[in-house]
Structure formats: C-alpha cells, structure tokens
Structure 1
Amino acid sequence: MTRFESAKEMYQNIGVDVDAALKKLNNVKISMHCWQGDDVAGFENGSSLDGGIAATGNYLGKARNSAELMADLDKAFSLIPGKHKVNLHASYAITDEKVDRDKLEPKHFKAWVDYAKDRGLGLDFNPTLFSHPKAANGLTLSSPDKKIRQFWIDHCKASRKIAEYFGKELRTTTLNNIWIPDGYKNAPADRLSPRKRLKESLDEIFTQKVDAKYIADCVESKVFGIGFESYTVGSSEFYMNYAAKNNIMCLMDTGHYHPTEVVSDKISALLLFSEKLALHISHPVRWDSDHVLVLNDELKEIGKEIVRSDALDRVFIGLDFFDASINRIAAWVVGMRNMQKALLEALLAPNAKLAQLQETENFTELMALQEELKTYPMGDIWDYFCKMNNVPEKQNWLIDVKNYEKNVLSKRTEQTI
C-alpha cells in the first residue's frame, strides 16, 4: 500500500471522500498577482512607488519587461498544481505607444490575452491609482481638484472596459478591483468631504454599462498606508456600505485590518448578504507588510471558512504580496501552493460531522476530533495532488527555481530592456 493509499484510507474512516476533495481543489482557480515578479514596477518606466506602497529588498533577477515577466510567470505556474489566473494592474499595459492611464484601451492588453489563451489561464484586473504624477499628493478619486478626480474616473472606466474585454475573450468572469491610496498623514479637519467626493466618483464610474457575465466589480478598503497613517478615505465601513448598497463586491485584503482582526471571521458574515466576495491574501506582520503567504493558522482558517460555507465558487481568491528580498518565483510558488494546501486541509475535514457536534453541543468530541485532525497525513494527499498535476512534490520544485536562477535570472541587470 502506498503512502497515498494509506492516507486515503485514514480519511475515509472518518467519512472524507478524498477523490472528491481533490477534484474540487483541482477546479479552484487562484489569481496570481503579476506584480510580485517585478516589485510592482510595471511597464510605464515612470516614477518610483508611492501611495503607501513599498517593495523591500534587492534580490537578483527582477523582470525588466513583459517578455521576462511572462517567462517568470510560466516558470512559477509549471511548479504549481492546476490552472489558474493572472492578476494584472493597469500599469502593465504592453504597448509601443505612449498612452496615459485614462486613455488605456483593450488593445493595449491584447498581448496578455494572447498569453492567457495560449496557456488556458484566466485574467483579473486592477486600475492603478498610485505611482503617477496625478496621484503625487496621495489623492485620486477623492481629490478636491475636479480635473484630478475626472482623470481617475476616466481611468477606472477604461479599466472596466478592459476587464470586460478579458472576460469576453477568455470566456470567464474577470474580477475588476478598485483600490485607492487616498488619505492624510495627520488628522484631517474634514473627514466627510473626501468621502463624499469618493462616493460621487464611484457613482459615476459605475454608471458605465458593462456585461456582468464577463466582469465582476469590487472595491477594496485599507486601514492606512505609509504616509497616510491618520485617515484613509476608503475605510472598511465606507466600502462595505457602498458595496452593499450598489450590489457590487467588497474585497477583503488580509493585511488591511487591525492586527487583532482576522478576515476568516468576516467571510461567513459577508456571504450571508453578498452573492460573492473577493479576497486578496498575504501574510501581514504587525501591519500590511505584504509578506509571502505562509501556511499559518489564519490561512488555514480562511480555507476552512470558504470550504465550510460551500463557497469555492462564490469567492474570488487572489494573492497580493511583493517580496524583493528572496527569489521572486519562489515567492509565487510558496504562496500559491500554501493557499492550495489550506483549501485541501479544509476539504479533507469531516465538516458535516464537526458542524453536527457543534449543533448538539458535544464540545468535548468536537475539540478532540479537531485536534486529532491536525496530525492526519494531509501531506501525503498533497504529494499525490502534485503528482496528478505533473508538478514536483515536496520541496523538489526548488531545484527548478535554483536552475532557473542560475541560467536566467543571474544574467539580468537592473537596466530595463
């Protein structure tokens, strides 16, 4: 009997259908963020990062152009089980013409659509409302300057058409996520007016007609960013209310809350009132530091909440971290595989039995079973899942990454080509 067969038997003895769990996991498409590959630089060759965003580290081999970024994505996907999606920012347009963000069109992203089609991948999208001269003071959709606001409104409208184009071309639903950096370093004299302007800007953006079959809109909150510590216009309360009132999704980023808050506890609450929701998942350390996703307790709880809520088809799962202190491809692989492991662990639990024990107030058996599950051989099931998807098991994928670093990444310089 193989290790997989032995592990499968153990799970079957507690009522878990391992084959069904693996089938469900294989159908989950996680959105892998392109900006991990080049430290959120994008292809505009513009100014350095701003808007409360910072990528730390100087590891060799950063992608310098679209060809290198796509090659790096390919290497990462070759080491991750299943077929997934690429999450793009508007600043990653591939074009020879000089075009500002308010004038972006689907044609500027055709190369990404071709890339996705060739590989059977999906695409998600984000308007880029940072690292731009018209966001230099940290105010975009809430700016008191009407011309600045209109520029960013037009950019968000253009982004929605691009996202719709992705969906139509790839015959899927593209998530279009609006996040803005807007806020103030010190306590503001007027908190209401910026939020009123943000609401009006969003109202204008969403008057634009798009096909809901191909695009899913969402808005993303944040507690604060570097340089915006005292006040964030797009707070959690603002966006949750705006999303509920306007029948769009609220995206929850695991790093965008107080350190004592956890997103896992919020998932079931939102699913009661929203058909779908979206997540950006990273590993926050003390604040929104966007560390590479590790398989910690909170990630496992997120996986459990999605699975136990029977919401694998209702939650858009995307990753959002950017670590330049380690091999960037390794960061992608670790994060994506850990997200899948968290979902697998949840799928391998006898969730109906656990819920029944809670409902009948049999808390002793509930605790005992939950604790015993922690040492069940999930790793053997995971290794089989990797094998069935023709990707390396355990840490063997790191051999490929090291070879790629030696033969490809080490030959890159900081100069963009």
Structure 2
Amino acid sequence: MNELELVKKAYEAAKTQYAALGIDTDRALDKMKDIVISVHCWQTDDVGGFETPDSSLGGGGIQVTGNYPGKARSIAEMRADLDKVFELLPGKQRLNLHAIYGEFGGQKVDRDQIEVKHFEGWIEWAQKYQTGLDFNATCFSHPLADDGFTLSSKNEKVRKFWVDHVKACRKIAAEFGKRLGTPSVHNLWIPDGSKDNPIDRAGHRAILKKSLDEIFSVEYPKEHLKDAMECKLFGIGSEAMVVGSHEFYLGYTISNNKLLCLDNGHFHPTEQVGDKISAVLQFLDEILLHVTRGVRWDSDHIVSLNDEVLQIAQEIVRNNYQSRVNIGLDFFDGSVNRVGAYLVGTRATQQAFLQALLEPTAMLKELEEKDRNFERLAWLETMKSRPFGAVWDYYCLLNQVPTGGDFIKEVVRYEEEVLLKR
C-alpha cells in the first residue's frame, strides 16, 4: 500500500470515529477554506527591511536573536523564500508587508514619502497567487524613533513625520485592496513608551489621540481598507508605560469603528487572548489577531500547537466568528531555518483551527447548560486523543502539499540548494 492509499485509509477510519460523535469531517475540511492566514514577510530577513544602505537605522523596540545562515538579503531572495512557503502550505493564504519592504531602486526614500509605486512588485506577486496583501506602517528602526516616541512625541516635527508616514501607508494599503479585489488590513503598532515611570502619561496619550484623529481624517472605502491598531502591555525600553495600551486602543477602536489588533504575546503571561475575543466582539464589528508564542515575555517565538492557540481557534469557531476575525502571524526567529519557521508556525495555527472545527461543540454546550461539567471536561480530554492527525494529513493531501513530516525534507533540500549558498 503506497503513502497515498495509507493517508486515505487512515482518514476513512478517523471519519468513522468522528461521525460517532456527530462530527462531519468532510464539512470541517470544507470550512477550512474560511481560515485564511496573513503570513508576515518579516521572518525572512529578521525584520531588517530593504531601505537604502545609507539610511541609518535607529531604535524602536524590535529585537531579533540568532544568526542562522540563509537570511534573505534582497526582495528577490525574500520572494523566493515566500514562494517556497506558499508552495508547502495547504490552503490559500495572504501576505502581510511592512513599509520597509518596498522596492526603492537604491534611492533614499524617507518613510513619509513612500508611494504605491514602491510596492508594484508586491502587487504583481499577490496577483500571481490570486490573494490579498495586508500592510503595516513601520514606526521603528529609524532615527526619529530613537527616543521612544513617534505618534505621541511632544516634538511636533517628529510627530508630524510619523503622521505623514502612516497616512502614506494607509493610502498604499487602500490601493492594494482596490487593485487586488480584497480589503487590505492596515495595522498600526508604535513603540511609544517609557522605560521608567513617567509623570505625564496623559499628555502622551492625548497627543496619540490627536495624531490618530489626523491620520483617520482621510477615509477610504471599506472594501479597500480596514484599519487596525495593535495594543501592548510593555516592550523593550517601554517596560513602565506603553502609550498605546489595551485600554487606550479598545476605547479608540470602539469610538471610531476601527479594528482592535490582539497579539497574544502582548499581554501578561496569565492573560488569555482567547478569552478576550468574545468580549471585544460585543462592541466591535471586526478584530485582527496576531498569533505568536511568548516565552516568559513578548518574545515572538514560532507558533506551536499549544493550549493558548487552540483556545483562540476554539473561541472563533464556537461562535462562528470566522468572518469577523482577521488572522495574522507575528513571530521572528533568527536562530533556525527561517522557511522552516514559517511552515511550523503557520501549520500549527491551521491545525488549531482544524481541531476546533472537529469539536462536538453542540454536545459540549448542552452538557454545560445542564451543569454536567464532569462530562464536559471528560469529553474535552477525550477529544485530545481522537485521530486528528489523519484528518490533517488528508487535508494536506487534498491541497497537494506534503503530509505528515514530509515537508521537513523539502525545507532541508531548499536549505542545501538555496539558503546555504547565500
């Protein structure tokens, strides 16, 4: 019996087991088409970007560790790596860009001057895959971010520069949405904050609100652009106060009908983003997720199939929030094969959603309503040993990508033939 036949046979056995619990595995696999993940471009090059070599980069709260060989050194190498990633992922995904990944032709183009013409190559790339592009203003790694404040800066020249940068980014993102026929999510994250306890927290937050009001004074059609803002508890150099806190952006997004971005690495380690989803969606039409894995702090480790990610997926699936939650990834690890990092992290996220789709939710809700909580817990534990892997392998087979761990040898081959020659 060949591998193809083995996968099909295992799936049929799994299908029977799940059917006994009232779960239609074929339907679950069909619903996976609704789980579209925005794959972040910055894992390819450790969040370096490709601005001109003579543009001195400053600080701003981003730190990538590791020096594994094979880092992308150009847009061409980045696209080659992303091609390999998309080739080995099941389903159709999106790409998430940062502003520092434009093609500037060796010219110095400061960030308040970027235009859609600098991203024409990415539009063509997305058209090849018949998918969408998401976008991010890059408010870090720049001399005007060195003191830790951008949109909330009390220096008017600095503040105005970053306002103009974000305005330019929203215009580019709206063009992505218009040209590609799917709304582009523009996410705004700023590193603004204080290393030690500040006196004037309110002053900086009032300035940030002023800046946001100026930025959003220009409106774009919702079918072209979705605006999101990413909150954070603390960051490198902003341990005592982050201007754009969860409370700040929650208030702003509700008041202005924007998307709140919840990154599961941006909260206290004992907080669960899965618990926040149904809370904020009582007041917001949509949200954006950044799925990551924090280890001890907001360390942006490669996503793994852990309880936290599974809870996020379960909360979305149990409440049919798929159309209201935009799913993105945000991790960067320079200590391992970067293409492999993408595949492990993206597949783990997809697996969490497939597991959630294979849950007997109706039965579990009925047990909960009847206060039969032992049975609820027992079934949740029982589901962990159901043959999920057979269903996942069949999903990969349907999408004509490697099953099981076969993608590993493909990554190793790519490393030997391409990455190690850089």
Q: Same fold (TM over 0.5)?
A: yes
CA–CA distance in 2 between the matches of 1:95 and 1:23? 41
Query: 1:359 — aligned with what?
Result: 369
Give TM-score scaled by structure 2 length.
0.96
Query: 2:188 — aligned with what?
Result: 178
CA–CA distance in 2 between the matches of 1:10 and 1:114? 45
CA–CA distance in 2 between the matches of 1:225 and 1:273? 27
CA–CA distance in 2 between the matches of 1:84 and 1:22? 16
User: Does 2:38 correspond to 1:68?
Assistant: no
Q: Read off the aligned partner of 2:143 and give its amino acid letter.
A: P
Query: 1:316 — aligned with what?
Result: 326
Query: 1:8 — aligned with what?
Result: 15
CA contact (8 A) 1:51 1:225 kept: no
Q: Read off the aligned partner of 1:34 and give its amino acid letter.
A: C
User: Does 2:63 correspond to 1:54?
Assistant: yes
How much has 1:50 moved relative to structure 2? 2.5
Query: 2:3 — aligned with what?
Result: none
CA–CA distance in 2 between the matches of 1:104 and 1:113? 15
Query: 2:5 — aligned with what?
Result: none
How much has 1:47 moved relative to structure 2? 4.0
Query: 2:419 — aligned with what?
Result: 409
Q: Read off the aligned partner of 1:24 and give its amino acid letter.
A: K
- Secondary structure at the counterpart of residue 78 of structure 1: helix
- Secondary structure at the counterpart of residue 317 of structure 1: strand
- Secondary structure at the counterpart of residue 313 of structure 1: helix
Query: 1:297 — aligned with what?
Result: 307
How much has 1:49 moved relative to structure 2? 6.5
How much has 1:98 moved relative to structure 2? 2.5
CA contact (8 A) 1:282 1:320 kept: yes
- Secondary structure at the counterpart of residue 87 of structure 1: strand
Against the structure 1 CA distance between its residues 19 and 49, is the aligned structure 2 distance closer, same or farther, given a 3 Å change threshold? farther
CA contact (8 A) 2:257 2:285 kept: no
Listed one character per residue, the Cα deviations across residues 155-179 of structure 1 (whole Å, up to 9, x for unaligned) are: 1111111111111111001110011
Q: Read off the aligned partner of 1:187 and give its amino acid letter.
A: N
User: Does 2:260 correspond to 1:253?
Assistant: no
Listed one character per residue, the Cα deviations across residues 378-397 of structure 1 (whole Å, up to 9, x for unaligned) are: 00000000000011011110
List runs of 5+ in structure 2 lacking aligned partners: 1-7
* 2:88 paired residue among 79, 85, 90: 79
CA–CA distance in 2 between the matches of 1:47 and 1:380? 51
CA contact (8 A) 2:58 2:144 kept: no
Query: 2:4 — aligned with what?
Result: none
How much has 1:121 moved relative to structure 2? 2.2
CA–CA distance in 2 between the matches of 1:298 and 1:306? 13
Q: Read off the aligned partner of 1:310 and give its amino acid letter.
A: N
How much has 1:228 moved relative to structure 2? 1.4
Query: 1:219 — aligned with what?
Result: 229
Q: Read off the aligned partner of 2:363 and give its amino acid letter.
A: K
Q: Read off the aligned partner of 1:278 and give its amino acid letter.
A: L
Against the structure 1 CA distance between its residues 392 and 49, is the aligned structure 2 distance closer, same or farther, given a 3 Å change threshold? farther
Query: 1:205 — aligned with what?
Result: 215
Q: Read off the aligned partner of 1:401 and give its amino acid letter.
A: V
How much has 1:270 moved relative to structure 2? 1.1
CA–CA distance in 2 between the matches of 1:56 and 1:307? 34
- Secondary structure at the counterpart of residue 404 of structure 1: helix
Query: 1:383 — aligned with what?
Result: 393
How much has 1:344 moved relative to structure 2? 0.2
CA–CA distance in 1 between the matches of 2:377 and 2:191? 43
Number of residues of Structure 1 aligned to a counterpart in Structure 2: 412
Give TM-score scaled by structure 1 length.
0.97
Q: What percent of counterpart residues are identical? A: 51
CA contact (8 A) 1:41 1:48 kept: no
Listed one character per residue, the Cα deviations across residues 304-357 of structure 1 (whole Å, up to 9, x for unaligned) are: 011011011110100000000000000000000000000000000111111121
* 2:297 paired residue among 287, 303, 306: 287
How big is the alpha-carbon RMSD for the aligned residues of Structure 1 and Structure 2?
A: 1.1
